[in-house]
């Protein structure tokens, strides 16, 4: 008798879990279709039907949809939740940077890039944009270290090469800047930024 009851309980539990998983997959599928149709409010409603505060995937997806809907406060809230669930996953941190950038909270954007680099020091996207932030703040010494790291990893990357060239120029390292501007000009012939940099050195 007890064995029969146990089997029935297990069967009911498995059926319930399967039904929940099916509902979740359906909600995600509909949310993708609605996102494609730019109906972000409806996409959010679909996910709210299966929302679970401990579900990383649902939280990061809602963060993205609220960002697309330009509800940056809610986007930040859901990305923060996703980060708390998986602190070492950098995708949620990159996601969070989008609404933070939209509201121009550059200090928090900077801090998120720093957190990403603590997990993945060689991440070229985080190194580049953190370098841009420091460059714009005229902290050329810190920007120089970040751009140099990328150029060492990817010598043929134009964006990093040109930023490093300008950083070297701002630091007064004109021989290095000249080499880098010339290199950037090779990567992108007739590039106006490279030509302007070389003109300033002359």
Per-residue pLDDT tens over the stretch 138-166 = 999 999 999 999 999 999 999 999 999 99
Question: How large is the greatest C-alpha to C-alpha distance in the chain, in angstroms?
Answer: 94
Please determine, for residue 47, whether its predicted confidence score (pLDDT) is greater than 90: yes
Domain 25-120 identical in fold to domain 140-202: yes
Q: pLDDT per residue over 167-183, tens digit each? A: 999 999 999 999 999 99
Instruction: Specify the CATH number for 25-120; select among 1.10.3720.10, 1.25.40.10, 3.40.630.30, 1.10.10.10.
Output: 1.25.40.10
What is the model's pLDDT at position 153? 96
List the helix and strand counts (H, then E) for the chain.
Answer: 11, 0
Domain ranges of the chain: 25-120, 140-202
What is the structure's pLDDT at 23? 77
Amino acid 13: pLDDT: 53
Task: Tell me: pLDDT of 195 over 60.
Answer: yes
Quote the CATH superfamily of domain 140-202. Tetratricopeptide repeat domain (1.25.40.10)
Percentage of the chain lying above the pLDDT 90 cut: 86
For the residues 43-63, what does the mean pLDDT come to?
94
Alpha-carbon torsion 162, 166, 171, 176, what sign? positive
* The pLDDT value given to residue 125: 97
């Amino acid at each position: 008798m007890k064995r029969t009851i146990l089997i029935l309980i297990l069967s009911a539990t498995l059926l319930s879990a399967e039904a929940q998983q099916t509902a979740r997959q359906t909600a995600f599928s509909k949310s993708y279709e609605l996102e494609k149709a730019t109906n972000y409010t409806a996409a959010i409603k679909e996910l709210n039907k299966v929302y679970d505060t401990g579900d990383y995937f649902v939280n990061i997806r809602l963060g993205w949809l609220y960002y697309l809907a330009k509800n940056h406060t809610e986007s930040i809230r859901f990305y923060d939740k996703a980060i708390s669930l998986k602190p070492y996953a950098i995708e949620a941190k990159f996601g969070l940077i989008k609404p933070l950038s939209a509201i121009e909270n550059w200090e928090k954007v900077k801090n998120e890039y720093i957190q990403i680099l603590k997990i993945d020091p060689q991440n070229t996207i985080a190194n580049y944009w953190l370098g841009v932030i420091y460059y714009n703040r005229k902290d050329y010494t810190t920007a120089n270290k970040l751009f140099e790291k990328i150029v060492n990893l990817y010598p043929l990357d134009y964006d990093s090469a040109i930023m490093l060239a300008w950083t070297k120029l701002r630091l007064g390292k004109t021989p290095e800047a000249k080499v880098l501007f010339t290199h950037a000009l090779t990567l992108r012939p007739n590039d106006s930024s490279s030509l302007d940099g070389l003109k300033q050195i002359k």
